[in-house]
Structure 1
Amino acid sequence: MKTIALVYYSGSGATHHMAEAIAQGAKTQPGIQVMRYRITGEDIQNGRFSDPDLFASLQQADAIFFGSPTYMGGPAAQFKAFADASSDSWSGQGWRNKLAAGFTVGGSLGGEQDSTLNYLFVLAMQHGMVWVGMDMPNGYDDKSINPMGRQLGASGHTPTGQLSDADLKTAAHLGQRVAALLHPQPVVTGAPVPSLA
């Protein structure tokens, strides 16, 4: 059994709905269990995030999704507090070689969601993780998977708090992709590797 952990903050609930779609997508693959952890304000005392049990669980996970709404062009402070607290895992490289992916929701189409996804990507790189992005170009309409054309991760936008079906399908697709990558894939061999000499 492989474990995918979802660690995210959601203020209005939209990022939570995206996390649920990721979990549903991941569970379409056999042998996958999903652990969800929604960061709350109560997790942060005197400006510091603390939950030793969470970090112990993340050590055991095979993949970790990071998620945050995009606030003022970046991740929410609550998520950032979690990221800062992950330094103990960083110093021991406890997440090294785990798969990582990210998701975010913003209030407008161009609401700087890329900045948040870049932050999540850099967090994963600090930990020596292997980042998994989208493998779908946008479909050039608002009803297809990845309608916003972001390759770095799943993103959605909602001025009303309701995510579109396309945004939820995008999230589910990324969940399914990460879950599929946790299972060994046969290596296809064909032509010999070209010489670099």
Structure 2
Amino acid sequence: MNIAIVFDSGYGHTAKLARHVAEGVARVPGAKATLFAVADGPVDWAALAASDAIIFGSPTYNGLISARLKRFMEDSTGTAWMPQAWRNKIAAGFTNSGAVHGDKLNALVSLALFAAQHGMIWVGLDIFPGKTQNDLNRLGSWLGAMAQSDDAPAELTPIDSDLRTAAYLGQRVAEVTAQFLKGRA
């Protein structure tokens, strides 16, 4: 089972989250995650077409996804959109901002809407909001994993609970994808 993680990262925080999402995917037997940083150049379209799920990640800037990820979504995915090549692939998303709120929900809504336009099946978090800084889902998101970085260097943030939430999302997507593929067999 192949799970692609397509992301952008301005300062390293979202890349750090992407690596933790991938670690979560790897917890599921038979699941393999491949990271695709949109800043690194053209995305491997054949690998995305062959994937069973795609997880999208972006920093939240002023309540929006990054310009690079938006450009990927708008300019690059037309060849996948017209034939609905990603139809019935599992999708999910994660985001990070410097502020505790930072309007991250809007970024996740943008990613979910993009996935819906491609006919994808969105998977959110299935855990209740945390009550402390150490709990999973401490920022209380249902739509995807959220993290916060205090405008600190990526070596220091996001905090451990946000990284564990990202890994949990990766594991959940892999488990749901496995169930979905088993049901299609």
Q: Which stretch shifts more, 154-163 or 95-104? A: 154-163
Amino acid at match of 1:165: D
Q: Secondary structure at the match of 1:115?
A: helix
- For 1:158, which of 127, 149, 153 is the aligned residue? 149
CA offsets 1:154-187 (integer angstroms, 9 cap, x no match): 0101121311101001000010001111223899
More helix by share: 2
1:11-160 to structure 2, matched below 5 A, reads 11-40=10-39, 43=41, 51=42, 54-84=44-74, 85-159=76-150, 160=152
TM-score (structure 2 length as normaliser): 0.92
Which of 160, 176, 183 does residue 181 from structure 1 map onto?
176
Query: In structure 2, what residue type is equivalent to 1:168?
Result: L
Query: For 1:20 and 1:72, how far apart are their aligned partners in 2?
Result: 24
Taking only aligned residues, the RMSD between alpha carbons, in angstroms, comes to: 1.5
Greater CA radius of gyration, 1 or 2? Answer: 1
Name the structure with the higher strand share: 1
Tell me the distance in 1 between the aligned counterparts of 2:178 and 2:66. 32
**For structure 1, which runs of at least 5 residues remain unmatched after alignment?**
44-50, 188-197
Specify the code of the residue in structure 2 equivalent to 1:59: A
- Distance in 1, matches of 2:56 and 2:49, equals 15
Distance in 2 (CA, whole Å) between partners of 1:37 and 1:156 is: 20
Seq. identity, %: 39
Amino acid at match of 1:138: P
Runs (5+) with no aligned partner, structure 2: none
Q: 1:46 maps to what in 2?
A: none
Structure 1: how far apart are the matches of 2:66 and 2:79? 21
Amino acid at match of 1:120: L
- Equivalent in the alignment of 1:192: none
Deviation readout 1:36-85 (Å, 9 max, x if unpaired): 11111x63xxxxxxx3x622211110000011100111000000010012
Between Structure 1 and Structure 2, how many residues are aligned?
A: 177
